[in-house]
């Protein structure tokens, strides 16, 4: 483990906490192995989750099931509070752990409840006025879009929506599609790091560069990449990075993340104001002053971050891509299936979206659920109507193969009533 465990345990009120030692034991157990197709290794990883063997969970893009150690961390915290021994939050240790996992410097992190709240902090904290423009895309989740629409309705800020190519062929094509919507009135560009619709990785480094050159604020809805891919939120070059660790980091529900570039830690106005909101010596931490919060979710986030660090972000990404590749290749080989996720590996990660000729995706979703307890996500937003599947470290190749069998059967014969 990377933390000074003795210091950590003393901060939380003694050596009675079990989860830090459980994570340490997990890391020792999995010190070697872990190739993407090392099924004995990944069987051990799967055993750390509570997912029933007969359930195929392919919707991590909505909510990631927490490993047992995260559930235990939350439970331990709640029990200690109930026993009048509140452990509090070891903020410095939490920030250091998250910074090791997703990059950036520890002083830049704020922990709202989700990406939606993080994006709202940004939109409400900027000084934007009537006639000024925010550029976004036609593949944004409502959590990243609606905060800007509030400004459109309330302040007269203009929203310009860029149309993204599907499937995208290159980073340049995607960057140019966004930039075509930029005008002299543009003050903010706000896009997803990975689109929730097709799992397309956007060229955020290039867009950040273009925004810096034009003096435009660049905000990234990064709900998906942290915990799925090896990322460095501080190295992307943007002004703000919002995320939902309850997805791929597999932290508890109610765990969000917002990273602020150094200049914004004193410039952004707070949306929630409590003591210290105007103390700029606190840097970004002044935004963590939200009154009484559920501290157990912070304990869970800490445990989830340490769990993934013990497993290894590079190892995680390789496994996620391996399983998604198996799934995507199988789908592409089925006649009547149309994959809308980009073909280039550099433009995707752990999600694949597709449609089946003559079959409505909600009907396919219900069929997969009834036939094999498969949990999926239909992209009904914008009337796209695609099916989206997500792969993570707890998935097994036989689960992927079973889903492919079912989709192939549906594509050939339809769905029996």
Domain around 261: 91-306
The pLDDT of residue 221 is above 50: yes
Q: What is the number of other CB atoms lying within 10 angstroms of the CB of residue 222?
A: 28
Residue 251 lies inside a defined structural domain of this protein: yes
Determine the average pLDDT of the residues in 83-87: 78
Tell me the pLDDT tens digit for each residue of 59-77: 999 999 999 999 999 999 9
pLDDT band at 85, cuts 50/70/90? confident
Q: Tell me, what's the pLDDT at 4?
A: 45
* In-domain check, residue 217: yes
242 has which bridge partners?
A: 221, 258
Q: Is the pTM value of this prediction over 0.75?
A: yes
pLDDT, tens digit, 9 for 90 and up, residues 328-361 = 999 999 999 999 999 999 999 999 999 999 999 9
Instruction: Please tell me whether residue 350 adopts helix, strand or coil conformation.
Output: coil
CA 272/CA 278 separation, integer angstroms: 12
Strands, E assignment, 315-365: 337-339, 351-356
Question: How many residues make up the chain in this entry?
Answer: 417
C-alpha to C-alpha distance for 163 and 174, rounded to whole angstroms: 9
Closest CA to 222 of 209, 212, 235: 235
Question: Could you tell me if residue 137 is inside a domain?
Answer: yes
Is residue 117 domain-resident? yes
* Chain segment 286-316, per-residue pLDDT in tens: 999 988 888 899 999 999 999 999 999 999 9
Residue 266 is part of a domain; what is its CATH number? Answer: 3.40.640.10
Domain tally, the chain = 1
In a domain, 340, yes or no: no
Of 240, 279, 199, 282, whose CA–CA distance to 112 is shortest?
240
CA 398 to each of CA 3, 33, 368: distance values in angstroms, whole numbers, following the listed order = 37, 20, 15
CA atoms within 13 A on the CB side of 224: 29
Residue 348: the pLDDT is 98
């Amino acid at each position: 483990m990377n933390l000074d465990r003795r210091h950590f345990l003393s901060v939380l009120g003694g050596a009675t906490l079990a989860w830090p030692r459980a994570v340490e034991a997990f890391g020792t157990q999995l010190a070697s192995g872990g190739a993407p197709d090392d099924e004995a290794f990944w069987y051990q990883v799967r055993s750390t989750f509570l997912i029933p063997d007969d359930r195929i969970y392919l919707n991590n893009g909505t909510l990631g099931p927490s490993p047992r150690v995260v559930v235990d961390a939350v439970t331990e915290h709640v029990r200690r509070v109930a026993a009048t021994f509140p452990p509090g939050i070891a903020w410095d240790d939490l920030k250091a752990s998250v910074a090791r996992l997703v990059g950036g410097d520890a002083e830049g992190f704020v922990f709202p409840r989700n990406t939606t709240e993080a994006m709202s902090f940004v939109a409400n904290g900027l000084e934007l006025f009537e006639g000024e423009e925010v550029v976004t895309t036609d593949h944004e989740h409502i959590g990243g879009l609606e905060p800007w629409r509030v400004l459109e309705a309330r302040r007269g800020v203009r929203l310009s929506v860029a149309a993204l190519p599907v499937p995208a062929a290159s980073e340049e094509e995607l960057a140019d599609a966004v930039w075509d919507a930029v005008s002299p009135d543009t003050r903010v560009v706000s896009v997803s790091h990975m689109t929730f619709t097709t799992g397309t990785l956007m060229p955020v480094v290039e867009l950040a560069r273009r925004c810096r050159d034009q003096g435009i604020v660049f905000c990234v809805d990064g709900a998906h990449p942290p915990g799925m891919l090896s990322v460095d939120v501080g190295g992307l070059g943007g002004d703000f990075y919002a995320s939902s660790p309850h997805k791929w980091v597999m932290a508890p529900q109610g765990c969000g993340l917002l990273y602020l570039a150094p200049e914004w830690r004193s410039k952004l106005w707070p949306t929630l104001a409590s003591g210290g909101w105007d103390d700029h010596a606190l840097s970004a931490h002044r935004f963590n002053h939200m009154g009484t919060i559920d501290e157990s979710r912070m304990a869970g986030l800490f445990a989830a971050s340490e769990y993934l660090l013990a497993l290894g972000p590079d190892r995680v990404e390789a496994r996620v891509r391996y399983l998604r590749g198996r799934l995507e290749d199988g789908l592409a080989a089925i006649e009547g299936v149309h994959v809308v996720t980009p073909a280039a590996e550099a433009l995707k990660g752990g999600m694949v979206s597709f449609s089946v000729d003559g079959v409505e995706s909600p009907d396919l979703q219900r069929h997969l659920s009834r036939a094999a307890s498969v949990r999926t996500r239909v992209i009904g937003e914008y009337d796209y109507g695609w099916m989206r599947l997500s792969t993570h470290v707890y998935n097994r190749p036989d689960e992927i193969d079973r889903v492919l069998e079912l989709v192939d059967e549906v594509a050939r014969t339809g769905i029996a009533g």
